[in-house]
Amino acid sequence: MQEYTRLLIESLRACGDCSLTVVGYGGGRGGLPFFFLWAAVRSLVFRGDQVHLSDAALSPLLPLLRVLRPRLRRSVTVYGLDLTYRSRFYQRLLHSTLPYAQRVVAISRATAKEAERRGVDASSIVVIPCGVRCSAPPVRYTLSPGIRLLILGRQIRRKGTVWFLRDVFPRLLRNFPSLCLTIAGEGPELPAIRKQISRITPASAVTVPGRVSEEEKRRLFLSSTIFLMPNIPVPGDMEGFGLVCIEAGNHGLPVVAAEIEGVADAVLNGETGLFFRAGDPESAVDVISQALRRPWDSRAVQQACVQRFSIRQVASRYVYDVFR
């Protein structure tokens, strides 16, 4: 989300409808208390009209601003994990400070619901999805014959990769013998992923390149048949928004995803991809099979994605729905 925040700031500055003063932090957790104090000082001496916080963890600033700068408008963007962090102290802090925001921007409907559970009035919440910079019209790479599935992202439990390898992929292989799967990205689930791959016949049908560069990611998007996001529910964890889904769509790659949490807002059903029921192997096999047999138009997929998730449109929503 840090890259997305930088892109959003760049787009807000480019639109020319608002003037921004950015107070950022790029250090580790140890320096966060000092950054909080610095952000508080900058907010109190700021001569503008509004202070916007880019993370719910900064919400303790809100009551302080309410008391010391009552005429200053207060807003915050919430992403999901910044709301669900499992600490009783942190959760009590959110319940007592987040409602002081006059406008709360949630990146998905699921995130908005989490904000409401922490005392935020629904009337003060606006849902604005994440956005992407428009890519060049997609030109598919021509590689060896075969059906290429792609899973890309940080490999943690909620991404559902182990579940997909165990309960879904072997059944797909029986129906589509030429199927190949690439699992890109690092994370704590990689040992379990590799163990599960060793039980698949043939194991060569799955490739795990690990971390990939931006150029390699682009190549994977343009050379794959379907992008997969097989998330599963994990208590205390959530997907605030499926940003990688719109990155795939921006490259003309259709997405098949579990209809869960913020992922449900990142795919335009029937236009940029299809949904299956989270944690349901039969639904996953059925929907992926449908997607593989469907003649997707990569340019139409990209156009639909850009019309809904262009960073310019997202920046415009911030200007008119949050900063005015």
Q: What is the pLDDT averaged over residues 111-136?
A: 95
> Is the distance from CB of 41 to CB of 35 less than 8 angstroms?
no
Would residue 318 count as lying in a domain?
Answer: no
Model confidence, pTM: 0.91
Domain that holds residue 100: 2-127
Share of the chain above pLDDT 90, in %: 79
| Confidence at residue 142, expressed as pLDDT on a 0 to 100 scale | 57
What is the predicted pLDDT for the residue at 73? 96
Each residue's pLDDT tens digit, 99-119? 999 999 999 999 999 999 999
Does one domain contain both 76 and 219? no
Residue 245 has pLDDT above 80, yes or no: yes
Q: Are residues 161 and 256 in the same domain?
A: yes
Measured distance CA(303)–CA(300) in Å, rounded? 5
Asked, for residue 313, whether it belongs to a domain, the answer is no
pLDDT digits over 189-225, tens only? 999 999 999 999 898 999 999 999 999 999 999 999 9
Q: What is the pLDDT of residue 144?
A: 55
Decide: 238 and 78 in contact? Cβ < 8 Å.
no
- 161 domain residue, yes or no: yes
Answer yes or no: is 273 within a domain. yes
Indicate whether 168 pLDDT > 70: yes
Question: Is the confidence at residue 141, as pLDDT, over 60?
Answer: yes
Could you tell me if 21 and 111 lie in one domain? yes
**Both 109 and 166 in a single domain?**
no
| Average pLDDT of the segment spanning 143-167 | 91
Total domains in the fold of the chain: 2
The residues, ordered by sequence, that sit 6+ positions from 141 with a Cβ below 8 Å of its Cβ are 219, 222, 223
> Looking at the structure, do residues 296 and 191 belong to the same domain, yes or no?
yes
- DSSP class of residue 278 equals T
